[in-house]
Amino acid sequence: MKITLEQVREEESIKSYIRKADESLVALGYTEHSFPHVCKVADTASRILKVLGYSDREAELAAIAGYLHDIGNVINRVDHAQSGAVMAFRILDRMNADPEDVATIITAIGNHDESTAFPVNPVAAALILADKTDVRRSRVRNQDMASFDIHDRVNYSVSQSKVLVDKEEISLKLEIDTQICSVMDYFEIFLNRMLLCKRSAAKLGIRFALIINDQKML
């Protein structure tokens, strides 16, 4: 059966895993990884492939991978991409999803985390780009600025974030309040992610650009 994004989003077990995974990350002090994040990643991953001329089906598979990509956090943050891929396989197999589709989705999920990530196919590349470019103030849950760690500062400093896509380039355009976080702080946290975005864009045959306060940094 050709599984749809709507079916995945309506599956109650998946909702529970996303919710409980985010609860674990709250306890660990991470930024938001719940429904706003996974929905944004799903939408961006799909949009990237659509703009680049991939099929509607490939775009939907990227959206499904984006929606499911962080469920492995319910087990542990460590190796959550691999845990999530195994969980997604069990869920999608139970939903009678087409094996070819399942393979594409779990390959993307299993290859999205920085420590082991690689854009092995277009869906994986789109997922990496969508996930690593989700930088925004609303992901910060800690409301006490005096106790911000560097991850909180970097995300909270972002007053505006846009992912722009055309057939030649994908760019992450940020407006950063440098009174909260310096550009160097941003690079300390996100340089590896941005280089991974560059490799993922190359897999899709385009360039990746990082623009901070109207200055092209990458």
What band does 150 get if pLDDT is binned at 50, 70 and 90? Answer: confident
Cβ(77)–Cβ(70) below 8 Å: no
What band does 132 get if pLDDT is binned at 50, 70 and 90? Answer: very high
Q: What is the mean pLDDT of residues 113-122?
A: 95
Helix (H, G, I), strand (E, B) or coil at 172: strand
Q: Pick from 137, 214, 131: which is nearest to 174 by CA?
A: 214
Q: What is the mean pLDDT of residues 131-137?
A: 96
Cβ(43)–Cβ(103) below 8 Å: no
